[in-house]
Amino acid sequence: MGSLKRASTLGRFFGSVSGLAAIHSLPPILQYSTALQNMPKGREWTLYIPVRLLPPNERAQIENSASVLVCTICKKQGENEKEYSVQPIPASRGTYAHIPAALSRRFAESQGKLTAAFAQASFKEMAAKDIDPALARAAFIAYIGKDIDAEALDHEYKETILRYDAIHKTRETARDKRFIEENAKKPGVTVLANGIQYTVEKDPEGRNITIDKIQTAALSTISGNDTLHLNNFRVQDIFGDAADSLPPGKKWTACIPFGVLDESRQSSLKAVWEKQPEYVVFTCEAAETDSTSPDTDADIEDDAPAAQPSDSIFASPPPIDANTLASEEAEFLKMNALTPNVTVLDNGVQYSYIIDPKGNNGSILDVDIMEARALTGESLGSIGFLDRSAAKAHLHPELWPYIDALPKAKQWFFCIPSHLINPKSLDKYTQKIGVRPNYILYTYEWSPPKENDAEQSE
């Protein structure tokens, strides 16, 4: 996918995203079903999506401004890709209520202030990226009141940024190399045979845990200019075979050669950062709830007042309740059942698969990634199989009668009722969602094995 632009039916622009982020901005029913596969080939697509179908965190940002989202998907055409503007849907003036002039003025002022706030935030970030923030601010002020030829500016910007990036990459690579050499000599730094350097900070009160109990972490470049936050990650995907040798502690910091990361993680970082650094920095720290605490419930006093709801437009959406989750699950299942290539079984299971037209398909018994999700799109954890034969043990027992009938494909989707799921797994999913789900979506992905994997299997 190239880029995706989002707007209301009246033309209010909600921003654009590209690459992997564009896919994740679509409703779960489009991300985790065969719906998109059935769309005809083209160069540009326009989707009219009810806002209520978006993931909860996306919906919270838009639902007060629009009920229908106009999504324009543009196929990537390379560096000279033309930018498409989002236009209002033609409608007569009588089809929507008149906005009072005073309210319209206040809204325009608020939009201007919000734009200024984002601009000021970007100026503050520029210093860390070797960009002169004062010069950038001066250019912004000089041009904000002028007519700008967007096409000419786009060409000039891309030409400049390509030259700048080439110089910056050379400088950054040299700086990173120097940092790695100096960091290896510091006390407390352990250097492994595969090039990983790490330090472990111990808890002064002895409440140390193993790293596999950590739920959240971050990957960044050494400069810190690019960061990706991780949830429900597997330590083996980051450290490989070295994961088992990491000692317990409270905080872990590691410099990891990019090539040590598993292939799917490398692809994700390249898509998000649009570059491949020599090293990435991994950091994670045990939260208070993660540490092994000697306190009992009777010893804990909580006199803090209840948190007040935030009015910030950047606030996270409130936790989902059981009724809302059930409603969203029913909506997903209803639409999924109407999607071509979906099979609905008597026990409530719905499944479908995507076949690569180029023939890069494999057996579901030979997948390399399995992921569990709520039907709202929230990830509940994933497993990457270094030994592909291990994937067989993770297939749900309800799927076994249908395994032989499944053709070779590159991706499979299974919606399974919660009463058919292992109680221990269901308890874990319930803790992450906040309420007990009625269905869980399992996705299985197959990719061609690397040459060394094929040699090992032989």
DSSP letters, 423-446, are: HHHHHHHHHHHSS--SEEEEEEE-
Q: Are strands 216-220 and 279-285 parallel, antiparallel or unpaired?
A: antiparallel
Pairwise CA distance, residues 220 & 227, whole Å: 4
Pairwise CA distance, residues 333 & 161, whole Å: 45
Q: Which of 426, 447, 445 is nearest to 437 (CA)?
A: 426
- pLDDT per residue, tens digit, the chain (458 aa), is 566 777 776 666 666 666 556 666 777 877 777 777 767 777 777 888 887 787 766 776 676 667 787 777 776 544 344 444 444 454 444 444 567 888 888 888 888 888 888 888 888 877 766 788 889 889 888 888 888 887 888 888 888 878 877 887 788 888 888 989 999 999 999 998 888 999 999 988 888 888 888 767 888 888 776 777 776 667 777 787 778 888 899 888 999 998 888 777 787 777 777 678 888 898 888 866 554 444 333 333 333 344 444 444 334 445 678 888 888 888 888 888 888 788 888 888 888 888 888 888 888 777 777 888 888 888 888 776 555 555 555 566 666 777 777 788 888 888 888 888 888 888 888 888 888 999 989 888 887 766 544 444 44
Give the three-class secondary structure for 139.
helix
Among the candidates 112, 144, 175, a domain finishes at 175
- The answer to whether residue 12 is domain-embedded is yes
Residue type at 248 in one-letter notation: P
Same domain? 424 vs 337:
yes
Only one residue has tokens 């906040």, namely: 434
Same domain? 9 vs 128:
no
- The answer to whether residue 382 is domain-embedded is yes
Same domain? 345 vs 446:
yes
Same domain? 134 vs 213:
no
pLDDT (0 to 100) of residue 199: 92
Integer angstrom CA distances of residue 213 from 46, 291, 292, 435: 43, 9, 11, 22
Same domain? 269 vs 378:
no
- The answer to whether residue 93 is domain-embedded is no
Same domain? 259 vs 342:
no
Only one residue has tokens 């003036």, namely: 93
Q: Which domain holds residue 194?
A: 190-285
DSSP 301: -
Same domain? 83 vs 126:
no
- The answer to whether residue 385 is domain-embedded is yes
**Torsion angle (degrees, nearest 10) of CA 361, 364, 366, 372:** 110
How far is Cα of residue 253 from the mean position of the Cα atoms in its chain? Answer: 22
Pairwise CA distance, residues 454 & 448, whole Å: 9
User: Residue 152: how many CB atoms within 10 A of its CB?
Assistant: 9
- The answer to whether residue 55 is domain-embedded is yes
> In degrees rounded to 5, what are phi and psi of residue 191?
-110, 120
> In degrees rounded to 5, what are phi and psi of residue 242?
-80, -5
Same domain? 400 vs 329:
yes
- For the chain, the C-alpha Rg in angstroms (whole number) is 25
Which CATH number do you get for residue 362?
Answer: 3.10.50
- Residue 99 burial by Cβ neighbours in a 10 Å radius (0-12, 13-18, 19+): exposed
Global pTM? 0.46
pLDDT (0 to 100) of residue 182: 92
Pairwise CA distance, residues 110 & 390, whole Å: 55
β-partners of residue 251 are 201, 285
User: In terms of residues, how long is the chain?
Assistant: 458
Pairwise CA distance, residues 429 & 437, whole Å: 8
Same domain? 72 vs 199:
no
Q: Token digits for 79?
A: 């560096």
Pairwise CA distance, residues 362 & 353, whole Å: 12
> In degrees rounded to 5, what are phi and psi of residue 408?
-65, 140
Only one residue has tokens 């472990």, namely: 200
pLDDT (0 to 100) of residue 128: 64
What is the largest distance, in Å, between two alpha-carbon atoms of the chain? 75
Three-state secondary structure of 67-127: CEEEEEEECCCCCCCCCCCCCCCCCCHHHCCCCCHHHHHHHHHHHHHHHHHHHHHHHHHHH
Pairwise CA distance, residues 287 & 284, whole Å: 9
Pairwise CA distance, residues 444 & 436, whole Å: 23
Q: Which of 242, 234, 241 is nearest to 216 (CA)?
A: 234
Same domain? 212 vs 267:
yes
Same domain? 24 vs 136:
no
Q: What is the number of alpha carbons within 13 Å of residue 405 lying toward its C-beta?
A: 7
Count the domains in the chain.
4
- The answer to whether residue 394 is domain-embedded is yes
Q: Which of 334, 436, 379, 381 is nearest to 24 (CA)?
A: 379
- The answer to whether residue 304 is domain-embedded is no
- The answer to whether residue 184 is domain-embedded is no
Same domain? 128 vs 244:
no
Pairwise CA distance, residues 281 & 254, whole Å: 6
